[in-house]
Amino acid sequence: MMDVRLGMLPQSTATQPQDAPAAGEEINNGQDFTRPVRRLDVRYQYQQPDSGLHTNIFTLRMDWPFTLSEEWKLSTRVDLPLMYSDVPSSDNPDGSYEFGTADVLAQALLIHPLNAEVAVAGGLQAIFPTDSQDQFGSGSLRLLPSIAVRYGAAWMPKGWWTALVARYDVDVWKRDGRESTSAFSIQPVLNIALPHRWFATFAPEFKYSFIDDAWFIPFDVTVGTMLSPTTIASVEFKHELYDALPQYDWSVEFRIGFFF
């Protein structure tokens, strides 16, 4: 499954939240990365990194897209996470529960539709080493160049689409003693529109580490609904299927988003 603070622009220069859809009109619920909406998310994630260990992540996420022209959009995002965990590290050798800041993520994507069915996107994620203790982050500045293609065929039901996202994750600076990063990930996506403004999105991120010569393959599904034209709620469940490259055993994240 992308640290500067975003400036406020006049209403006319940013993508606006939509009004209540007309009968039969497709709802933009923000799942489609080629149709970004301006939103603020509040997220809580529980993750079991290994048997007997527990991680709680509280994240504020801001998405702020800009319309550059009729054919180009710039989608920006910032994640500000806090963590409460009993994972041991050099800063927490006894494995006590500790609370602190995790790594801040910033993303910028350029989006361009090729036709009515296909759109492409490309850009960069940056993950900053803002972790207050070793167990809360990688301890490195990481850059993730990203490319993606989204396909929504005319023969597919309205609101259904598929995508493929690829990223390369590499550290360009790290603290002494922290592990290097060099990994490739590929993420197939299938979004299914369900009745009464519900949806399901399958988006497992397959990750390969060049350093460890190992794969991590999970199951990943998100189910959610539009509570109103400007409010969305969803829950994501992930579970490892193949973990030659250990990442987590399982994870669940609860989200509520506000479009504005």
pLDDT by residue (tens digit) across 170-187?
Answer: 999 999 889 999 999 999
- C-alpha torsion 199→81→165→155, nearest 10: 10
- Would you kindly state where each structural domain of the chain is located, as residue ranges? 32-259
**What Cα–Cα distance (Å) separates residue 62 from each residue in 4, 5, 13, 237?**
12, 10, 17, 21
Q: pLDDT (tens digit, 9 = 90+) per residue, 183-193?
A: 999 999 999 99
Give first-to-last CA distance, the chain, whole Å: 24
Arithmetic mean of pLDDT, 74-79: 98
Give 197-217 as a DSSP string.
Answer: TEEEEE---EEEETTTTEEEE
Q: So what's the pLDDT on residue 8?
A: 32
Residue 11 has pLDDT above 60, yes or no: no
Enter the DSSP assignment of 151. Answer: E
Tell me: domain 32-259, CATH 2.40.160.40, correct?
yes
Q: pLDDT (tens digit, 9 = 90+) per residue, 215-233?
A: 999 999 999 999 999 999 9
Give the pairing type, strands 98-101 and 55-67.
unpaired
Q: pLDDT (tens digit, 9 = 90+) per residue, 48-74?
A: 999 999 999 999 999 999 999 999 999
Q: CA–CA separation, 36 vs 15, rounded Å?
A: 8
**What Cα–Cα distance (Å) separates residue 240 from each residue in 28, 49, 62, 189?**
30, 10, 28, 17
Q: CA–CA separation, 218 vs 203, rounded Å?
A: 9
Residue 5 has pLDDT above 70, yes or no: no
In this prediction the pTM is: 0.89
Where do we find the tokens 């990442």?
A: 247
Q: CA–CA separation, 211 vs 169, rounded Å?
A: 12
